[in-house]
Amino acid sequence: MQDCNRWSVAGGLWHFLAKARSLEILHAIFAAADGTSFGPEKMFLGIGPIKFPGYLDRQEIVVRSGQNRLEVSETDLWAEPLQDNFSRVLSENLALLMNTDLIIVYPWSPANRPRYHVEIEVLRFEANSEHNGQLFARWSVLDGADKKVAVVKESRVIRNAQEKSTAGSVAALSEAVGDLSREIANAVSAIDGKRK
């Protein structure tokens, strides 16, 4: 009887461990002292709105296993809503790249209108079956004063994972957000430079 109970407890523990989930989070990739900042003047920049595809509006990590096939992980989860995590990391990267702490995430009040704001439509943001991070996005920079579109771009970033795991995939996705951040910082700086 005791052996039976031991096996039952051990089986229950194994079942629990087999169902354990890992929590993943994107991270900013630029250090404050990496020397990549643009311009001496602090800029007031708005981020958003940012739109994500509906299939990414979930806690589970999604992997693109084929051109028309997505797999939803049963064990690997985002530690916070992916869209919020993406917005925060993009803001952190841009603040460091552009040497400003004047970053605001949409929505903002009309009285607190940023000099420029970046609208982003994320088309794809997941790892593929090789664990490489893929970020495809359309984005535009708008002038806060006259609300005119200053530039429209499409970015397609693929970053190879350093390790073939979920953690490696998330690191590659973080690097992809870093690449997008650099593209946006370059575009905003170029637009601002033309206005001066």
pLDDT single digits (tens) 87-99 = 999 999 999 999 9
Give the chain's domain count: 1
Has residue 9 got a pLDDT over 70? no
Angle CA(136)–CA(125)–CA(181) in degrees, nearest 5?
65
Q: Is residue 93 included in any domain, yes or no? A: yes
Q: Is residue 7 included in any domain, yes or no? A: no
d(CA 78, CA 59): 5
Give residue 76's domain range. 25-195
Sequence-ordered strand ranges (E) for the chain:
22-24, 45-51, 60-66, 69-78, 103-105, 116-128, 133-143, 149-159
Burial (Cβ within 10 Å: 0-12, 13-18, ≥19) of residue 137 = buried
For 72-113, the three-class secondary structure string (H helix, E strand, C coil) is EEEEEEECCCHHHHHHHHHHHHHHHHCCCCCEEECCCCHHHC
Per-residue model confidence (pLDDT) at position 41 = 63
**Confidence band for 110, pLDDT divided at 50, 70 and 90:** confident
Higher pLDDT, 13 or 61: 61
Q: Is residue 16 included in any domain, yes or no? A: no
Has residue 67 got a pLDDT over 50? yes
By mean pLDDT, which of 5-9, 30-34, 37-41, 87-91 is the weakest? 5-9
Please, are residues 193 and 187 in contact by the beta-carbon 8 Å criterion?
A: no
CATH number at residue 135: 3.40.50.10610
The residue type at 104 = I
Q: Is residue 11 included in any domain, yes or no? A: no
Tokens standing for residue 108: 């903002």
**pTM for this one?**
0.83
**Confidence band for 154, pLDDT divided at 50, 70 and 90:** very high
Q: Is residue 6 included in any domain, yes or no? A: no
d(CA 115, CA 143): 6
* Buried/exposed 101-130: b ≥16 CB within 10 Å, e otherwise: eebbbeeeeeeeebbbbbbbebbbbbbbee
pLDDT single digits (tens) 142-152 = 998 788 999 99
Q: Is residue 57 included in any domain, yes or no? A: yes
Please, are residues 181 and 168 in contact by the beta-carbon 8 Å criterion?
A: no
**Confidence band for 27, pLDDT divided at 50, 70 and 90:** confident
Nearest alpha-carbon partner for 59 in 31, 25, 103: 25
Has residue 29 got a pLDDT over 70? no
Per-residue model confidence (pLDDT) at position 30 = 56
Has residue 76 got a pLDDT over 60? yes
Q: Cis peptide before 49, with omega less than 30 degrees from 0?
A: yes
Q: Is residue 18 included in any domain, yes or no? A: no
Q: Is residue 2 included in any domain, yes or no? A: no
Has residue 190 got a pLDDT over 60? yes
